[in-house]
Structure 1
Amino acid sequence: MWPKALSTVTGLMLTLAGLPVYGHHAFAVEFDVELPVSLTGTVTKVEMINPHSWIHIEVTDNSGDKTVWMIEGGSPNALYRQGITRNSVPVGAELTVNGYQARDQSNRAVGRDITFSDGRALFFSGTQVPEETE
């Protein structure tokens, strides 16, 4: 009976150990390299939540219509270790984001380059963004 119980427990542990792998997504699952975006807008909200942080920016198009976009960043823990907190990106700040839109073409993107209006760069990355090829 002992060998059967041991193999059952071992099998259960191996099964459970693999579950967290399914909880995270890769860049290509969520975002599309064929949908590049360049957005300039005003920060309306910053969320430092797991598994990814988000910057919400309000973008005004040429006709004056305003749209809120969600820009995905790294995990709060990874950002904190780099010295980035929610205060690093103040509400009301103007940002320019170059990145890639979500595959479902919603107003969500992952930022490849994020720059404040004064030229300071922000390393908010978490999802591995593909390198550009020229």
Structure 2
Amino acid sequence: MSHPCLRCGACCAHFRVAFHWSEAEPLLGGSTPPELTEKLDPHRLNMRGTSARAPRCVALVGQVGEAAHCGIYAQRPSPCHELKPAWEDGTPSPQCDRARLAHGLRALTPECWLQPLVPSPGVDRPDPDAPAGGRALLRDA
């Protein structure tokens, strides 16, 4: 299975991504592209699009729940580094769960991480992106 985040993107289309302005200041070592940010208050910026009524980060590429990824992954701000997928490291993530459920995706479970990240031919496995309440299986070819 591929990493669940590479199909999800729900967190990028659910939360406001706010951070200290210095993270987008190259002269101070900031790496987040300043042109993708907007001023939130005197000390914080946010990623453009994440303060909207229906948030969607300007850096999100693709369709949530199908094929989505961060277009600036190596330069993403600290809140994006800090939000971890549920159970990836053996601990829950209420933020991940909340974002996935808001987009009609099932919450990740510990079992989602027991599957090999490389597909095994002919093996059924739970689909972490099946609609909430649904029970779908994927069969790797």
* TM-score between both structures, scaled by the size of structure 1: 0.25
**Larger strand fraction of residues:** 1
